[in-house]
């Protein structure tokens, strides 16, 4: 059993909180230790082989539909207690949640996340990670699980920042990108190879009755 707890005042978490406060996003190229990245990638592959990943839908509730012309990834939502390695990831993200609550007063109450596998050629068109009828998602967090990714493989996360600045993240294993869900439009460019990630959202409590 590997218990990896990191305190919410770890320098890495503080620097993410700092970036979010100053510019609304953060990139940490060396966030997940290599062993953890490899084990999470193996877990994702295992689930894909067992047919547990399904084409991702767009929209929410009864309006969900599969639209590969909008997003072509296959996903599976995580639940705590399914696999020790996933719990390690969830614990890490919980430390980040506490760090953000302390440093940014966001009142983040939970974290939802899924594995995502983009087959070669799949993409996700420009979007914002917030639903029109549900503004609970405050902070998006993506960690990449790809071994030896090169820029020429494509698959960049393209973020549309202030002042017409576009910024591309190469989805290298162990890298974490965090951004304010309502404020950073972004897209996933197609890649020449399979692209794996864990994507999640820190949420505050909603006011709405559903």
In the complex with ligand OGA, the residue whose CB is nearer, 53 or 188, is 188
**Subset of residues 86 to 145 that bind ligand OGA, contact rule: CB under 6 A:** 116, 124, 129, 142
Indicate the DSSP class of residue 50: T
Indicate the DSSP class of residue 26: E
Give the interface segment with Mn ion, choosing from 23-31, 104-112, 124-132, 151-159 (CB under 5 A): 124-132
In the complex with ligand OGA, the residue whose CB is nearer, 103 or 182, is 182
Q: How far apart are CA 41 and CA 150, in angstroms?
A: 17
In the complex with ligand OGA, the residue whose CB is nearer, 71 or 97, is 71
When asked if residue 37 is in the footprint of ligand OGA (CB under 6 A), the reply is: no
Strands 195-204 vs 108-118: parallel, antiparallel or unpaired: antiparallel
Closest residue to Mn ion, based on beta-carbon distance: 129
Q: Which of 32, 73, 129, 144 binds Mn ion (CB under 5 A)?
A: 129
In the complex with ligand OGA, the residue whose CB is nearer, 17 or 116, is 116
The torsion angles phi and psi of 95, rounded to 5 degrees, stand at -65, -40
Closest by alpha carbon to 166, among 184, 144, 149?
184
Q: Give yes or no for a contact between 78 and 86, defined as CB atoms under 8 angstroms apart.
A: yes
Q: How far apart are CA 166 and CA 79, in angstroms?
A: 34
142 binds, among Mn ion, ligand OGA, none (CB under 5 to 8 A by kind): ligand OGA
In the complex with ligand OGA, the residue whose CB is nearer, 8 or 195, is 195
Q: Give yes or no for a contact between 110 and 118, defined as CB atoms under 8 angstroms apart.
A: no
Q: Which of 76, 113, 181, 197 binds ligand OGA (CB under 6 A)?
A: 197
In the complex with ligand OGA, the residue whose CB is nearer, 37 or 197, is 197
Q: Give yes or no for a contact between 187 and 123, defined as CB atoms under 8 angstroms apart.
A: yes
- 90 is written with which tokens? 């969830």
Complete DSSP assignment for 55-95: EPPBSSGGG-B--TTTB--EEEE--TTS-HHHHHHHHHHHH
157 binds, among Mn ion, ligand OGA, none (CB under 5 to 8 A by kind): ligand OGA
Q: Which of 16, 20, 157, 178 binds ligand OGA (CB under 6 A)?
A: 157
| Residues near Mn ion (CB under 5 A) | 129
| Residues near ligand OGA (CB under 6 A) | 116, 124, 129, 142, 157, 186, 188, 197, 199
């Amino acid at each position: 059993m590997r218990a990896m707890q990191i305190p919410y005042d770890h320098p890495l978490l503080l620097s993410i909180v700092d970036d979010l406060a100053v510019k609304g996003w953060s990139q940490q190229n060396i966030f997940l230790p290599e062993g953890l990245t490899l084990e999470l990638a193996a877990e994702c592959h295992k689930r894909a082989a067992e047919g547990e990943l399904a084409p991702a839908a767009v929209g929410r509730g009864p309006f969900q539909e599969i639209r590969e012309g909008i997003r072509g990834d296959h996903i599976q939502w995580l639940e705590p207690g399914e696999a020790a390695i996933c719990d390690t990831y969830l614990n890490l993200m919980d430390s980040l949640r506490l760090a953000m609550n302390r440093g940014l007063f966001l009142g983040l109450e939970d974290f939802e996340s899924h594995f995502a596998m983009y087959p070669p050629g799949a993409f996700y068109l420009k979007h914002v990670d917030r639903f029109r009828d549900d503004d609970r998602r405050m902070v998006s967090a993506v960690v990449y699980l790809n071994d030896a990714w090169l820029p020429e493989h494509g698959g960049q996360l393209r973020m549309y920042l202030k002042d017409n600045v576009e910024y591309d993240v190469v989805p290298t294993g162990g890298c974490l990108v965090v951004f304010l869900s309502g404020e950073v439009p972004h897209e996933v460019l197609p890649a020449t190879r399979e692209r794996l990630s864990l994507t999640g959202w820190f949420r505050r409590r909603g006011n709405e009755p559903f």
